């Protein structure tokens, strides 16, 4: 099946409220990079109930793609999205899930490993060098009658099919009527939906309702639902999330991949915090990196009082180091909605890329000018009462969440420097254990046992330090 390229409609539409309400109705190969070996990543599959949103933004124009992690019978899937106006068929597209997955892998937090050199050799240790270098039934259900719709204050403004989705655009006078209409037409709306719908009705939003057309889905031959994309123009750069809380049993994880031309994206109404990076952790955590990362994120989230938006990645999309996945091709970026690739470079080529690091193919207009910010939000109604508001900054400093394994030399060390090296390894391992404990909240003793280390040596008596002064 040929891949579609989504070209945004230039008509001015106002803000697209893209927070989705999902109603329950009815190996990337190991890559050798310039500064080490990539060995593991923490991608979107790490968390349950994770929504993924790709936001392509330049000026007032935005393309947003949503990928749901819905698991269950396809006939029971529905999505309700508040929108500012009646969207036409041309403003909606079905995207390739594989491109979303590739973007997730490219931006995922990663684990890299280095190996100490023979302490008796004259070669400089790669680890030390690195530290200096890197500080329903088919068809959407119809109302039973036009009169019944009017009585409830609900009007079907438009309907069409896009890919495997049957889509309705609804308007409503009040949330009770909309909730009743949805229930009467087979949508099992969560108890909190009425309260969540009300603010959008007050501001005049319409409602985009998507269900799976089982016949069209069967034609795709796919076992999953493809992402939906919307194109619009608005001076506001934001992402409503309140409606997505209506069917939540607790905090939810949201990954936002913001692709822009110039700089890092951050939130303006919540703190934007960079997660820890560049930390060396115990070697034994290589086999359990996912558990380590989940515990690390949980600890950081609690330390920020559960109200921060976390930056996991910001990088020029033309290269990577170390690479958790190859950079996206120019064609893949076009599929995500990066329309300016065909307009040529804006203000010249990106900064020079160091030799030996992987680059992406150039577009027809020259080197690609695009950067991606990956933001991780864990939100609930009591900690995120407002929708997310973003801004593009002038910051161009590359950032990635990256943890390091430093393997000790295990060969013979028969030289005067050998004993000193072994002592330094013990000190380093103690520091790695303390670092991991601080990042995760795990007990030091447990980490030491897992690492095969003995109990931590007690501190020397205070009076011994007197003779060392």
Per-residue pLDDT tens for 144-166? Answer: 445 555 568 899 998 999 999 99
Residue 456, pLDDT above cutoff 80: no
Instruction: Look up residue 306 and give its two tokens.
Output: 């559960």
CA distances from 229 to 258, 403, 412 (A): 14, 34, 59
Label the pairing between strands 165-172 and 206-212: antiparallel
Residue 73, pLDDT above cutoff 70: yes
351 domain residue, yes or no? yes
12 domain residue, yes or no? no
Calpha distance 325→311 (Å, rounded): 19
pLDDT confidence bin for 136, thresholds 50/70/90: very low
14 domain residue, yes or no? no
**Those residues with Cβ within 8 angstroms of residue 206's Cβ, 6 or more apart along the chain or in another chain:** 82, 83, 84, 85, 86, 87, 157, 169, 170, 171
Question: How far is Cα of residue 84 from the mean position of the Cα atoms in its chain?
Answer: 25
A 10 A CB-CB count for 25 gives: 18
Residue 276, pLDDT above cutoff 70: yes
Residue 24, pLDDT above cutoff 50: no
Closest CA relative to residue 440, chosen from 449, 432, 429, 452: 432
Instruction: Look up residue 126 and give its two tokens.
Output: 């790669």
Helices 289-303 and 416-440 meet at what angle, rounded to 10? 60
258 domain residue, yes or no? yes
pTM of the model: 0.77
pLDDT confidence bin for 123, thresholds 50/70/90: very low
Please give the DSSP secondary-structure letter assigned to residue 34: T
Calpha distance 54→373 (Å, rounded): 10
347 domain residue, yes or no? yes
227 domain residue, yes or no? yes
CA distance between the termini of the chain: 75
469 domain residue, yes or no? no
Element (H, E) at 238: strand 238-239
C-beta of residue 20 within 8 angstroms of C-beta of residue 55: no
**Residues of the domain holding 344:** 21-26+29-457
Residue 32, pLDDT above cutoff 80: no
Calpha distance 346→156 (Å, rounded): 42
Q: What are phi and psi of 197, to 5 degrees?
A: -75, -30
Closest CA relative to residue 229, chosen from 73, 81, 74, 387: 81
Higher per-residue confidence, 21 vs 188? 188
**Those residues with Cβ within 8 angstroms of residue 135's Cβ, 6 or more apart along the chain or in another chain:** 278
Q: Residues 338-359: what's their mean pLDDT?
A: 50
Calpha distance 403→280 (Å, rounded): 6
CA distances from 234 to 14, 59, 61, 218, 336 (A): 4, 9, 6, 36, 18
Closest CA relative to residue 371, chosen from 403, 342, 400: 400
pLDDT confidence bin for 284, thresholds 50/70/90: very high
Residue 199, pLDDT above cutoff 70: yes
- Tally the domains of the chain: 1
Can you name the residues that pair with 154 across neighbouring β-strands? 172
378 domain residue, yes or no? yes
């Amino acid at each position: 099946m040929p891949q579609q390229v989504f070209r945004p409609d230039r008509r001015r539409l106002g803000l697209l409220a893209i927070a989705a309400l999902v109603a329950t109705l009815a190996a990337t190969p190991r890559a050798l990079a310039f500064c080490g070996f990539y060995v593991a990543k923490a991608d979107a599959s790490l968390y349950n109930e994770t929504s993924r949103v790709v936001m392509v933004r330049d000026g007032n124009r935005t393309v947003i793609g949503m990928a749901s992690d819905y698991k269950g019978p396809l006939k029971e899937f529905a999505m309700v999205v508040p929108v500012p106006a009646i969207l036409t068929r041309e403003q909606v597209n079905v995207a390739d899930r594989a491109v979303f997955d590739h973007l997730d892998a490219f931006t995922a937090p990663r684990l890299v490993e280095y190996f100490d050199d023979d302490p008796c050799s004259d070669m400089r240790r790669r680890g030390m060098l690195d530290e200096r270098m890197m500080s329903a039934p088919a068809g959407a259900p119809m109302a039973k009658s036009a009169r019944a719709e009017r009585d409830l204050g609900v009007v079907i403004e438009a309907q069409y099919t896009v890919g495997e989705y049957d889509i309705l655009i609804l308007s409503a006078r009040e949330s009770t009527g909309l909730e009743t209409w949805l229930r009467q037409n087979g949508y099992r709306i969560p108890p909190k939906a009425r309260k969540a719908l009300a603010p959008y009705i007050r501001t005049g939003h319409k409602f985009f309702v998507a269900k799976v057309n089982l016949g069209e889905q069967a034609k795709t031959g796919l076992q999953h639902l493809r992402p939906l994309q919307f194109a619009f123009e608005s001076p506001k750069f934001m992402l409503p999330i309140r409606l997505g809380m209506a069917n939540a049993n607790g905090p939810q994880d949201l990954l936002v991949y913001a692709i822009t031309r110039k700089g890092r994206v951050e939130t303006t109404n919540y703190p934007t915090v960079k997660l820890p990076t560049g930390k060396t952790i115990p070697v034994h955590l290589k086999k359990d990196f996912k558990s380590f990362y989940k515990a690390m994120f949980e600890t950081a989230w609690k330390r920020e009082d559960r109200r921060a938006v976390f930056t996991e990645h910001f990088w020029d999309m033309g290269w990577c180091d170390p690479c958790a996945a190859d950079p996206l091709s120019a064609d893949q970026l076009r599929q995500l909605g990066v329309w300016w690739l065909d307009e040529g470079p804006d203000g010249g080529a990106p900064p020079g890329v160091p030799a030996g690091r992987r680059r992406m193919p150039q577009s027809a207009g020259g080197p690609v000018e695009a950067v991606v910010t990956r933001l991780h939000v864990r939100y609930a109604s009591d900690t995120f009462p407002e929708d997310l508001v973003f801004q593009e900054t002038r910051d161009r400093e590359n950032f990635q969440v990256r943890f390091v394994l430093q393997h000790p030399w295990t060969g013979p060390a028969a030289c005067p420097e050998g004993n000193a090296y072994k002592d330094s390894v013990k000190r380093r391992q103690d520091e790695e254990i303390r670092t991991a404990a601080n990042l995760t909240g795990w007990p030091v003793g447990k980490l030491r046992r897992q690492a095969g280390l003995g109990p931590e040596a007690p501190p020397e008596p205070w009076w011994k330090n007197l003779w060392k002064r």
